[in-house]
Amino acid sequence: MPPALFYHILAERGYEAFFGVPDASMKDFTAYVADHTPPDRHVICANEGNAVGMAMGYHLATGKVPVVYMQNAGLGNALDPVMSLAHSDVFRVPMLFVVGHCGDEKEKKQVIEPQHLVQGRVTSRTLNCMEVPNSPFHILTQDNEARLRQELDLADTHFKSAGMPYAFTIGQTYFEPYIKGRLSGFLTSGGQPIEKLLPQGADVPPLPGFEDLSQPRTEAHKAAEAENRREAAEAAARGEDPHGAHTAGEPAPEAGFTREEAIRLVLEGIGNDDIVVATTGMAGKEVYDLRARHKAGHFRDLRVVGGMGHASSVAAGIALAMPAAAKAAGRDVVALDGDGSFLMHMGAAAVTGWVGHRTSVDLAASPDGSSDEPSPTSSPQMGGLGNFKHIVLNNGAHDSEGGMPTAALFCNLTAIAAACGYKALEPVEAAKDLPAALACLRESPGPAFLEIRIRKGAASRSLPPQTPKENKEAFMDFVAKGVTPLLQAKNYISQRLPDSPIVVLEPERVGEPRRLGIAQRYKPKQYFHKWKYFYGE
Element (H or E) spanning 155, and its range? helix 144-161
Same domain (yes/no): 103, 245: no
User: Is the domain of 266 the same as that of 388?
Assistant: yes
pLDDT, position 136: 77
pLDDT of residue 365: 36
Q: Residue 137 above 50 pLDDT?
A: yes
Q: Which of 323-337, 376-390, 419-433 has the lowest mean pLDDT?
A: 376-390
pLDDT of residue 117: 77
Q: Is the pLDDT of residue 168 over 90?
A: yes
199 assigned to some structural domain: no
- Is 208 part of a structural domain of the chain? no
Higher pLDDT, 335 or 113: 335
Quick one: 51 and 167 in the same domain? yes
Quick one: which H or E segment has residue 153? helix 144-161
Average pLDDT for the chain: 77
pLDDT grade for 187, boundaries at 50, 70 and 90: very low
Strands across the sheet containing 423-424: 301-303, 275-278, 333-338, 388-394, 448-453, 423-424
Rounded to whole angstroms, how far apart are CA atoms 307 and 208? 29
What is the percentage of the chain residues whose pLDDT exceeds 90?
49
Would you place residue 502 in the very low, low, confident or very high pLDDT band (cuts 50, 70, 90)? very low
**Does residue 184 register a pLDDT over 80?**
no
Q: What percent of the chain has pLDDT over 70?
A: 69
294 and 239, same structural domain? no
Per-residue pLDDT reduced to its tens digit, 436-465: 999 999 999 989 999 999 988 766 677 788
pLDDT surpassing 70 at residue 518: no
What CATH number is associated with residue 150?
A: 3.40.50.970
Q: For residue 517, count other CB atoms closer than 10 A to its CB.
A: 10
Same domain assignment for residues 236 and 276: no
Distance, in Å, from the CA atom of 54 to the CA atom of 66, rounded to the nearest integer, reads: 9
Highest mean pLDDT among 365-379, 409-423, 471-485: 409-423
pLDDT at 90 (0 to 100):
95
Residue 388 lies in a domain: yes
Q: How far apart are CA 338 and CA 61, in angstroms?
A: 23
- The answer to whether residues 13 and 151 touch, using CB atoms and an 8 Å cutoff, is no
DSSP readout, 156-219?
Answer: HHHHHHT-S-EEEEE-TTSSPP---SGGGG-SEETTEEHHHHS-TTPPPPPPTTGGGS-HHHHH
Lowest-pLDDT range of 82-96, 323-337, 455-469:
455-469
**pLDDT of amino acid 213:** 34
Residues 469 and 507 in one domain: no
Biggest alpha carbon distance in the chain?
81
Per-residue model confidence (pLDDT) at position 114: 74
For residues 464 and 522, membership in a common domain is answered with no
Top mean-pLDDT range of 24-28, 60-64, 140-144, 406-410: 60-64
Predicted local confidence at residue 73, as pLDDT: 92
Is residue 185, in this structure, part of any structural domain at all?
no
Comparison of pLDDT for 52 and 209, the residue scoring more: 52
Tell me: the pLDDT tens digits for 214-249?
334 445 555 655 666 676 677 667 765 444 434 444
Same domain, 478 and 518: no
Q: Which of 125, 150, 180 is the last residue of a domain?
A: 180
Of the two residues 167 and 374, the one the predictor is more confident about is 167
Number of domains present in the structure of the chain: 4
Residue 491: per-residue pLDDT: 59
pLDDT band at 34 (very low <50, low <70, confident <90, very high): very high
| 373 within a domain of the structure (yes/no) | no
Judge if 171 and 231 occupy the same domain. no
Which domain range does residue 19 map to?
3-180
Q: Is the pLDDT of residue 492 over 70?
A: no
pTM of the full structure: 0.76
Last residue of a domain, one of 149, 180, 211: 180
Same domain flag for 528 and 427: no
Tell which wins on pLDDT, 287 or 400: 287
pLDDT for res 462: 72
Per residue in 327-381, pLDDT (tens digit) is: 888 899 999 999 999 999 999 999 999 999 888 743 333 334 344 433 333 343 3
- Residue 105 pLDDT: 64
User: What pLDDT is stored for residue 212 in this prediction?
Assistant: 37
Q: Is residue 336 part of a domain?
A: yes
Confidence (pLDDT) at 317: 97
128 and 174 fall within a common domain = yes
Is 531's pLDDT higher than 50?
A: no
- Pair 46, 145 in one domain: yes
- Given 252, 272, 293, which residue is the final one in a domain? 252
Query: Is there a contact between 56 and 307 (Cβ–Cβ < 8 Å)?
Result: no
**What value does the mean pLDDT take over residues 397-426?**
89
Considering the domain boundaries, does residue 67 fall inside one?
yes
pLDDT of residue 5: 92
352: left (phi over 0), alpha (psi -120 to 50) or beta: alpha
Q: How far apart (Å, rounded) are the C-alpha atoms in residues 226 and 106?
A: 56
Q: What is the pLDDT of residues 247-274, one digit of tens each?
A: 444 444 444 789 999 999 999 999 989 9
Give the torsion sign (CA, 45, 64, 53, 260).
positive
Instruction: Tell whether 387 is covered by a domain.
Output: yes
- Residue 106's pLDDT is what? 66
Q: What is the DSSP letter of 303?
A: E
What's the confidence (pLDDT) of residue 115?
A: 76
- When pLDDT is cut at 50, 70 and 90, the band that residue 180 belongs to is low
